[in-house]
């Protein structure tokens, strides 16, 4: 079980933290952060992004 937390998969970490679907049910102003970060991957730092995409992440 301890090795399961050695991941960059935010959806998996959400489950391991016991948050389940609770984070999806947050008010929209707080949920927007989750909607942006949930699809992040550790390999994304090596990908080229357009200025529009970079601004969207920021």
Give 5's pLDDT tier (boundaries 50, 70, 90): confident
**Digit-coded pLDDT (tens) for 27-50:** 777 777 777 777 777 788 888 989
Q: In terms of pTM, does the model score above 0.95? A: no
What's the CA gap between 3 and 40, in Å, rounded?
Answer: 20
Residues 6+ apart with CB under 8 A from 16: 4, 5
Closest CA to 12 of 54, 42, 32: 42
Domain boundaries, the chain: 2-57
13-43: string of b/e by CB count within 10 Å (b at 16+)?
A: ebeeeeeeeebeeeeeeeeeeeeeeeeeeee
């Amino acid at each position: 079980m301890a090795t399961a937390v050695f991941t960059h998969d935010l959806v998996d970490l959400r489950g391991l933290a016991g948050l389940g679907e609770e984070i999806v049910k947050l008010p929209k102003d707080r949920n927007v952060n989750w909607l942006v970060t949930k699809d992040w991957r550790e390999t994304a730092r090596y990908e080229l992004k357009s200025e529009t995409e970079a601004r969207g992440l920021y």
